[in-house]
A and B are shown apart, each in its own frame.
Chain A
Amino acid sequence: MGMTITEKILAAHAGRPAVEPGEIVTCKVDLVLGNDVTAPVAIKEFRKIGVDRVFDPERVALVASHFAPNKDIAAATQAKEMRDFAREQGIRHHYDVGDMGIEHALLPEKGLTVPGQVIIGADSHTCTYGAVGAFSTGVGSTDMAAAMATGTAWLKVPETHRFVLRGKLGRWVSGKDLILYLIGQIGVDGALYAAMEFDGPAIRSLSMEARLTVTNMAIEAGAKSGIISPDEVTLAYLRKRAQYPLRLYRSDDDARFARTYEFDVSRLEPQVALPFMPENTRPISEVGDVPVDQVFIGSCTNGRIEDLRIAASLLKGNKVHDGVRCLVIPATQGVYLQAMREGLLEVFLEAGAAVSTPTCGACLGGHMGVLAEGERCLSTTNRNFPGRMGHPKAEVYLASPAVAAATAITGRIAHPEEVARHVA
């Protein structure tokens, strides 16, 4: 019996020829990650373990992304705890204001996430790195502490649900629409404890950035991880940036998939997830007339350069609708710089959008764009639970950057086609 890519990676890291779904194995980890919310708790737990040094300072990444630049004194204190720990331990991959970004956009961009790795991170969207063909999963702070001390983690080998997407994507349909559609089909616990493996021509046609958007939201279906086996797109993306050797795996033809789903996505419309769950998705033509107060373009889901390019292509020469606040937050310093060089920032500013330095900020209702009671936001983020972006009675609709830009211009949730006539 063959193995899936996930089983192969876990077996290799457990020092075993093979593993079976359901088994609990102790795996070596290649990268351990935390942020300014989760790392301080992990550091506190690490101190209790009784070792002085992390297992390998080159394999720990600490990213100040959530409340950075420091939103208040409490947040500043947490960021400082992390900074002091990084210094004390000689952790080079500590990204602070000035070179930081949202962790899941930043680490792939820096080439720290490569095929074949086992990555655990004290952040649920750690599943993002599956896009490059790594096994990566979100854990809690105590797991992070234990992994920093031992270089290992206990993992239950997940069963794999395979999603084969066929067909050619329509002009305004992106990775975000694919993953929203899949979550709408299977529900927020549709892949609970499982690895979601994405494949098929529609997935293969996606850029690495769009693939990162797809795997980013695997957790929103309850999955342990999301993964796409490496191909030429992966290798081209990593050519200039990989900081570790690549180990390329793919699922055997006779691998066990607990489930296989096949979808033809050639007629898929842009998707919108209605409040208050990522599974409440509808094709945009069925959303109706929904005016918004705020549009947010950014986050680890959709704050990469490709996302900003498409938003700018629609906003160019247009104005953000009266009474709508449009926020654009490039996900990393690198994206910010690139957007500036390409003139995208000018497009946003001239359209009447606000652009800020990288931060998670608005995505988790932390700072920079918190919603008041009764307000409605169309957001390119990944979650729309009550209170996610501010007041529990504020509403969040999730969609792609193209839909977000169209919505900013019309003031209500809109199909990009409506404003796209001038776009070449």
Chain B
Amino acid sequence: MSPEAGRSEPLRGRAHTFGENIDTDRIIPARYLTRHDPAFLAQHCMEDEDPTFASRVQAGDFIVAGPNFGCGSSREHAPISIKAAGVAGVIAPTFARIFFRNAINTGLPILECPEAVAGIEPGDDLEVDFATGAIRNLTRGVEYQARPLPEFVLEIVAAGGLIPYVRRQLGTAS
């Protein structure tokens, strides 16, 4: 998760909504996995679900999706492509577990909040604080509180992702 998120500053952006069980093949199809540079993956983000997404999404927007987001393969290319497309974070009622880990480990902020997902419409203007879990729907004037992340996971978040966390543990951080 980005150091910005750790600083507890709410982020503001528009919501792009998706249905339930969005699998990693729909986030980034396997045919693009011969490469792993983020900019390339960003161009094909969500392509098989919504071919216009990569061109419509603006830096700082949010993905708001149904349960079990990111099910399917373990490809880290999925959170990488979402992050590189400029998405500031993903909100869903539940995440598939490998996607959950990958998002935390690679610095894509995520929150689990079924109520918020039920109340957010495409294009709604949101203000989200990933550190506290506070979600405000500015378009509709409603606030939600997401389930907090486990403490251990917050430590990884605070370190800025798993790699900086491990560097600190091993004493290799400069």
- Residue positions of A touching B, CB distance < 8 A: 24, 37-38, 40-41, 44-45, 48-51, 66-67, 71-72, 74-75, 78, 121-124, 126, 138-143, 145-146, 149-150, 154, 156, 188-189, 192-193, 222, 224, 277, 364-366, 370, 383, 385-388, 390, 392
Contacts and interface: CB of A to CB of B under 8 A. Distances in A.
B43 to A, nearest CB: 14
B94 A387 contact: no
A48 B76 contact: no
A141 B76 contact: yes
B36 interface: yes
Contacts of B25: 383, 385-388
B161 interface: yes
Interface in B125-174: 150, 152-153, 161-163, 166-167, 169-170, 172-174
Interface in B65-89: 67-68, 71-77, 79-80
Given A49-B172, A50-B170, A189-B67, A387 B26 contact: yes
A351 to B, nearest CB: 29
Contacts of A149: 166, 170
Contacts of A365: 29-31
B150 to A, nearest CB: 6
Nearest to A122: B74
Interface residues of B, number: 44
B121 to A, nearest CB: 24
A143 B101 contact: yes
Given A49-B170, A51-B170, A385-B25, A139 B101 contact: yes
B72 A124 contact: yes
Nearest to B51: A392
B98 A50 contact: no
A387 B36 contact: no
Contact of B34 (A71, A126, A154, A386): A71
A72 to B, nearest CB: 6
Given A49-B172, A51-B172, A365-B30, A188 B71 contact: yes
5 shortest interchain CB distances as A-B pairs: A50-B172, A140-B102, A74-B34, A142-B105, A392-B48
21 contacts: A38-B76, A41-B36, A49-B170, A50-B172, A50-B173, A50-B174, A78-B34, A122-B76, A139-B102, A140-B79, A146-B163, A149-B166, A156-B150, A192-B97, A366-B30, A366-B31, A366-B33, A385-B26, A385-B72, A387-B29, A392-B48
